[in-house]
Structure 1
């Protein structure tokens, strides 16, 4: 575990779509387009938001969406060249921004440089007489993770780009890869931070047996929005208790949106609940990640169809000045909550204790190392006075200045500190 991970807050984007790249790979011989340099104006934006990490989706040569990699050692020409990536990494380093790359090592595109070569046939898993695929997608060929040469290849890729200057890896579809493979690759590399994409299962196993530093906390993500939609904070209280069991071993990557799911502003049936969701995100233990656009209240629905990610992966304007004016109040809300987390860095490994649980109200205490905060959530349309046996409390941040300590106008939230 790297020390800097205790203080990082990621701003996550999908470069190919964020930068308006064409859907298909460029034809052979076509010159590279230096789109990665267009991220320059967005670096100060993410810093002003309060983040200090840039989590990039796939940037390596691929056939379409980036997750069908054909060469892990080449930057996708739709995004630029290695020199353009060098420029971006150097710009980030100069501004104190960590860089996370997306490693797609469960599967490759059918155009992968070694697929189809008989000398490398053992690199790919078989399903009967044909090659196995990822979740039925024929164009995504599953790697054979029992093949030592595949482990050596993946280790080489990871080390190459860490030596280049990036700080860590998000490991795509980590849940589909045997844990010993991660132990032999990521688990054997010092100096980087490795987070696995894990949707469900025994999260600590990927850290304990897979050698990773963290995993994506989908259980908490689901509980945050569904408890608000169902007005059932018992679900969220249960999920937070589960989260604490994970946090005892490692700091999960927490989020309320990413490139694979319906955006928060669309999945919530009552958009007034956005602030409550964010209050949970920024007061629970873990490593928070913000999906680009959520901080501007972007809407978008993930659809189970061809090109079903289009709504949640839009192209962004060339600079933040091109963003619509109605998104900036949400941006300022993010700034306030991220600022509170920055002032209380111990929240990275905080544990949570429920103080009051009802369908529409939840109060909990977060603590670590002698520090404490009290979080009050009220999903009702009316105000609610929380009766708590915590002693005197000092208001730190609230959605509404009409709140008076333990009274929270509805729907709303408040964060307080014991005096």
Structure 2
């Protein structure tokens, strides 16, 4: 895995909702001030509707801009030290995709979506095409690829493709969208660097809603095993799911979810709008993604005032993450556990560093019994080890 990923924290933007690429350039300082150092883009290539029905992987979608717009965005990101992750839709294409030969297609639609036609990943021509696309945009300044619907593609396809791409771009990073299944096996067979950690995402909001931290502890035990195979892409929101502020039944627990995200191993991603406390519900219908893929104002100064406290919370937590970059590879264990209170102890692989996150979603204060000697509260208000009702602390050995 590329060493720069150890420090990566992404701001994930869905451009076809957010606005044109030139508009996005006005938000890069906002992203940097939040503390992220990477821009994760949703689809930007020519497509028929929502971006995942690509018709030309070598052309910027005209609704977003053109080649010059992309180059300018890359230049502005480079000037600010921002890495760029592109969204590669290589499992399927839109119906308007100009197929050079019928052998490129399997002749099936993807998951019942009539506008998405699946590529045949046994075809050498398809493999060559994906390699060309990846190399083209990496040469233009991208740093890696998030691979859409990777779970629907044989892992051997990704291994063959990425091995060829890494020959010219050894620092490139590849993260596959994998929702269910055996994350560890898929990572090892595919040769990818990362997978999307949906299992942890679900456990975070579900354990908070149900008052069942045993679920979170179980998911983190599995998460540690995934970390042995790669660097999972962690998140509490993305373009395909209900926003965390809407998913949680108690708005006081948004901070709990974020505290987990930024203190466990993996590569964290913040979905645009979540850092402003946006709400939005994903619905299984035509247009059901619209609420979670909204436009942004022209400038950060145009944002409503009520979202800035959530932004400042992200700022502080990302600051903690960047001061403890070892957390990217940390293993996290529930060292004290009840239904409504948990102590998550994250340690470096070498065992020489420790950070503890204390969560309480109960209606009464909870006093933790574990040994906190040598640690002090670096986020949260009040003296540990007693955490007030519906509150959380992060402790570390900071001077």
What is the TM-score of this pair, normalised by structure 1? 0.92
Tell me how far 1:390 sits from its aligned partner: 4.2
Match status 1:158 vs 2:140: no
What's the CA shift string for 1:5-43, capped at 9, x where partnerless?
Answer: 110100001101111xxxxxxxxxxxxxxx211112110
Deviation >4 Å, runs of 4+ = none
Measure the CA separation in 2 of the matches of 1:333 and 1:67.
Answer: 32
Residue 353 of structure 2 is aligned with which of 371, 377, 393? 371
Match status 1:324 vs 2:304: yes
Tell me how far 1:391 sits from its aligned partner: 3.0
What's the CA shift string for 1:75-100, capped at 9, x where partnerless?
Answer: 01111111110110011011100001
Tell me how far 1:158 sits from its aligned partner: 0.3
Q: Contact 2:110/2:116 (CA < 8 Å) preserved in 1?
A: yes
Q: How many residues align?
A: 392
Residue pairs, 1:176-325, within 5 angstroms: 176-190=152-166, 191=170, 192-325=172-305
SS in 1 for 2:190: coil
Measure the CA separation in 2 of the matches of 1:361 and 1:239.
Answer: 16
Partner of 1:412: 391
Measure the CA separation in 1 of the matches of 2:137 and 2:202.
Answer: 33
What is the TM-score of this pair, normalised by structure 2? 0.97
Structure 2: gaps (5+ residues) = none
Partner of 2:69: 84
Partner of 1:134: 110
Tell me how far 1:248 sits from its aligned partner: 1.7
Measure the CA separation in 2 of the matches of 1:292 and 1:187.
Answer: 32
Structure 1: gaps (5+ residues) = 20-34, 126-130
Match status 1:63 vs 2:48: yes
Measure the CA separation in 1 of the matches of 2:163 and 2:247.
Answer: 36
Tell me how far 1:392 sits from its aligned partner: 4.2
Q: Contact 1:10/1:55 (CA < 8 Å) preserved in 2?
A: yes
Q: Contact 2:159/2:192 (CA < 8 Å) preserved in 1?
A: yes
Measure the CA separation in 1 of the matches of 2:277 and 2:224.
Answer: 29
Tell me how far 1:393 sits from its aligned partner: 2.7
Q: Contact 1:63/1:70 (CA < 8 Å) preserved in 2?
A: yes
Partner of 2:82: 97
Q: Contact 2:11/2:40 (CA < 8 Å) preserved in 1?
A: yes
SS in 1 for 2:278: coil
SS in 1 for 2:287: coil
SS in 1 for 2:208: helix
Q: Contact 1:217/1:254 (CA < 8 Å) preserved in 2?
A: yes
What's the CA shift string for 1:23-79, capped at 9, x where partnerless?
Answer: xxxxxxxxxxxx211112110000000101000000000000000000000001111
Partner of 1:23: none
Q: Contact 2:13/2:272 (CA < 8 Å) preserved in 1?
A: yes
Q: Contact 2:377/2:395 (CA < 8 Å) preserved in 1?
A: yes
Partner of 2:122: 146
Q: Contact 2:5/2:267 (CA < 8 Å) preserved in 1?
A: yes
Q: Contact 2:54/2:93 (CA < 8 Å) preserved in 1?
A: yes
Partner of 1:350: 330
What's the CA shift string for 1:173-215, capped at 9, x where partnerless?
Answer: 0000011110111243223100000001111223211111100
Match status 1:38 vs 2:23: yes
SS in 2 for 1:359: coil
Measure the CA separation in 1 of the matches of 2:57 and 2:63.
Answer: 15
Q: Contact 1:187/1:212 (CA < 8 Å) preserved in 2?
A: no
